A and B are shown apart, each in its own frame.
Chain A
Amino acid sequence: MSEPIYRADVLVCAGTSCESSGARSVLAALTEELAKTGLDQEVRIIETGCRGFCSMGPVMIIYPEGVFYCQVKADDVPEIVEETLLKGRIVQRLVFTETESQMTVPYYEDIPFYQKQQRVTLHNCGVIDPTNIDEYIARGGYEALGKALGEMSPQQVIDEVKTSGLRGRGGAGFLTGLKWEFTAKAAGNPKYVVCNADEGDPGAFMDRSLIEGDPHTLLEGMAICGYAVGASDGYVYCRAEYPLAIKHLKIAIEQAEAYGLLGDNVFGTDFSFHVHIKEGAGAFVCGEETALLASIEGRRGEPRPRPPFPAVSGLWAKPTNLNNVKSYANVPQIILRGAEWFSKIGAERSPGTAIFALTGKVLHTGLIEVPMGITLREIIYDIGGGVEGGKKFKAVQTGGPLGGCLPEEQLDLKVDFDSLRQAGAVMGSGGMIVVDEDTCMVEFSKYFLTFATAESCGKCVPCRMGGRRMLELLTKITEGKGTLEDIDEIESIAAGMAAGSLCSLGQLTPGPILSTLRYFRDEFVAHVTEGRCPAKQCTALVQYYVNPETCKGCGICARNCPVNVIEGGRRQIHIINQDGCIKCGTCLEVCPFDSILKVSGETVEVPTELIPIGTWAK
């Protein structure tokens, strides 16, 4: 056969998540196996971007059937080739199994994880080969840019984006079209279009996945923006820790320029648009717009007071439009399908969809796209499959380290920019971390504060000093040395930081603590007044005891104790010497009889000297 004719496509996710769980070796095995069986002339392998179902990675979808295989290993490949690709049978053991009903779900479209999702921004992610522009064009790519250049004036483009109601997906939710209009109307030349891809939140990977899986959508959106605001240069500020995203973006720029869809004289018109990539060094503060622009200019990544806003004086003091990756990525479809179509998706004042990186103690972690207005409960239970290990849900943190956390009572809250803000959390750029009953909320907020404090650039005093001071107070509380006054002081510092910090890093740093205090104040109070950590996580506030009633005197705990503080001989009730205990929890893990008690804020009566088992009486 000369030109291969393909009857099936095997789509293997090669996003960063699946790659780290072994997608590379699967791809290698697949290539080898197809060649061996002679199927390489009829079955094609496509490396795609993220499908979102990262907890089940590496994932594979076989078209035209749409068979979905999870957690595929290289060893599974010969069976997949023999059974599915050759004989058309499903390999049941690789199929997704629903946890509750134990039902197997062989087809992609039937999997509950995807049922409540609505893929608008990510519609190409995991469906096309991101390194092949033809596949993007086959899905209607660059038609929006062609339409804008050929049939619309810059003002009409701006009006269309304004009418759609698209709000900035970086987190603040400012109207994107309005921002574009400011830049378009600002005096000064040249103008710039900048994309913020400096996604720095721990546990967030929405922008990375989008660029890895569908880089042309971003480029097309930026080019449309360039046409609308009158810019001929665009910058993507992407963190250097995203090598795959940068690689795909570079390939995409090259391919689009070869077709004349970017670069000089786009679509043969007078409009030229060059996209440059600026790799960031991974400073969290560079996600703040003025710090980001300073970093592109080669200066130290520090924010400056606004106004003037970047729309008036941005990159090299020229009018600059700066949006998040997801904001630009929504634009091509708005232009192509119309503002009215977009405004009907999602919630009334927050149209469109939201992309979240769902992580933490949830069964199915991954990347999800949902219509705005969906409830947190639907996201966590219907899509995420509920809390891992049958534990009880405690809280969900939205908006990353500068966001806020919400308790169970707020689970029916509709997710959109405004309602989240009212509840004390923020949309942020889309991190969503679920925690269960075993998480101490004081420790949890301390974790985010530690992050934000370390990432403070130090330029303004409220952020530099306020964060550090709050961290000291929180540490004091987790060590059981806190007082009620400390809680008041945290609140007063938080108010000062929110009001006095230069940029949103400092202004929002207190967010997680304030929301935790609002919903979980009793946990803070328990730490300071009772010396009790309700989740039994703060090391200073927990104790381990051998249960004298059930101890069998086997000595396993004593032999495993790394600091040798457990006393007791054969068939004697063992005793943990509280003074020397480092509370590592090893005894709890190794005891075969579940006879180690972990307590906080209560005392357990135990023998004071070694006695034989079975002789204990209080």
Chain B
Amino acid sequence: MPKVKSLDELRKLRDQVKDDISTRIETGTTIIVGMGTCGIAAGARETMHAIMQELESRQINAHVRTVGCIGMCSREPLVDIEQAGKPRVTYGNVYPDMVPRLIEEHLKNGHVVDEWVVGRKTTDDIGL
């Protein structure tokens, strides 16, 4: 193991290892995948794995969460993207091949991919 020789080196090391605890600290971005039986049957797990791969390869810090069925089973796999201070956007029928564009447009460029959207919620709507 290389020795840490200065405070700067320690800070570099910190940047390298901070992913280890990233799920335990606030990132401001959460991607929520519907993982009810309907979602799983529609391939939500594959979608989720694609999302995780994409986040990893692009070095984007976001939490990936699973939730139960919200009722719109025909549009599964459903993926919600929630960013601090912005309305929560729900995308429907998200398959692994759509994930790179979704991450690129929504998280990187900040544009909602309108044609895939099934709904938007502000925090007021969900009673928070």
- A interface residues, Cβ below 8 angstroms from B: 1, 5-9, 11, 42, 63-65, 85-89, 127-128, 132, 134-135, 137-140, 142-143, 146-147, 150-151, 258-261, 267-268
A259–B68 Cα distance when bound, in Å, is 44
B11 at the interface (CB under 8 A from A): yes
Closest 3 CB pairs of A and B: A260-B3, A88-B66, A268-B5
A258–B4 Cα distance when bound, in Å, is 9
B120 at the interface (CB under 8 A from A): no
| CB–CB A139/B21 < 8 A | yes
A91–B48 Cα distance when bound, in Å, is 22
- B interface residues, Cβ below 8 angstroms from A: 1, 3-7, 10-11, 13-14, 17-18, 20-21, 23-24, 27, 30, 32-33, 35-36, 40, 48-49, 52-53, 55-56, 63-68
Contacts of B56 in A (CB 8 A): 5
Contacts of A260 in B (CB 8 A): 3-5
Contacts of B67 in A (CB 8 A): 87-89
| CB–CB A259/B23 < 8 A | no
Known A87-B68, A138-B20: A5·B30 in contact at CB below 8 Å: no
The one of B6, B17, B23, B32 that contacts A63, using a Cβ cutoff of 8 Å: B23
| CB–CB A63/B24 < 8 A | yes
A64–B25 Cα distance when bound, in Å, is 8
B48 CB to nearest A CB, Å: 7
The one of B1, B7, B40 that contacts A146, using a Cβ cutoff of 8 Å: B7
Contacts of B40 in A (CB 8 A): 86-87
A128–B64 Cα distance when bound, in Å, is 20
A140–B56 Cα distance when bound, in Å, is 23
15 A/B residue pairs, CB under 8 Å, sorted by A = A7-B23, A7-B48, A8-B23, A9-B21, A64-B63, A87-B35, A87-B68, A88-B66, A127-B21, A137-B10, A146-B6, A147-B7, A151-B7, A267-B6, A268-B3
A154 CB to nearest B CB, Å: 17
| CB–CB A87/B66 < 8 A | yes
Contacts of B48 in A (CB 8 A): 7, 42
| CB–CB B6/A88 < 8 A | no
| CB–CB A64/B52 < 8 A | no
| CB–CB B24/A127 < 8 A | yes
Contacts of A86 in B (CB 8 A): 35, 40, 66
| CB–CB B6/A258 < 8 A | no
Q: Which residue, B32, B55, B65, B67, has most C-beta atoms of chain A within 10 A?
A: B65
Contacts of B7 in A (CB 8 A): 143, 146-147, 150-151, 267
The one of B3, B11, B24 that contacts A9, using a Cβ cutoff of 8 Å: B24
Instruction: Identify the closest chain B residue to A256 (Cβ).
Output: B4
The one of B14, B20, B24, B63 that contacts A7, using a Cβ cutoff of 8 Å: B63
| CB–CB A88/B20 < 8 A | no
A447–B13 Cα distance when bound, in Å, is 52
Q: A137-B10, A138-B14, A260-B4 are in contact. List 13 more A-B contacts (CB 8 A).
A: A7-B23, A9-B23, A9-B24, A63-B24, A64-B65, A87-B67, A88-B32, A127-B21, A132-B20, A138-B18, A146-B4, A261-B10, A268-B3
A259–B6 Cα distance when bound, in Å, is 11
Known A137-B10, A137-B13, A146-B10: A259·B63 in contact at CB below 8 Å: no
Contacts of A137 in B (CB 8 A): 10, 13-14, 17
Contacts of B55 in A (CB 8 A): 5
A65–B66 Cα distance when bound, in Å, is 9
| CB–CB A128/B21 < 8 A | yes
A7–B31 Cα distance when bound, in Å, is 10
B29 CB to nearest A CB, Å: 10
Contacts of B1 in A (CB 8 A): 258-259
A5–B36 Cα distance when bound, in Å, is 22
B33 CB to nearest A CB, Å: 8
The one of A42, A134, A150, A268 that contacts B52, using a Cβ cutoff of 8 Å: A42
Contacts of A140 in B (CB 8 A): 14
A559–B13 Cα distance when bound, in Å, is 72
Instruction: Identify the closest chain A residue to B7 (Cβ).
Output: A146
A95–B13 Cα distance when bound, in Å, is 37
Instruction: Identify the closest chain A residue to B68 (Cβ).
Output: A89
The one of B4, B6, B24, B68 that contacts A64, using a Cβ cutoff of 8 Å: B24
The one of A1, A143, A151, A261 that contacts B11, using a Cβ cutoff of 8 Å: A143
A7–B61 Cα distance when bound, in Å, is 11
Contacts of A8 in B (CB 8 A): 23, 64-65
A132–B17 Cα distance when bound, in Å, is 11
Contacts of B66 in A (CB 8 A): 85-88
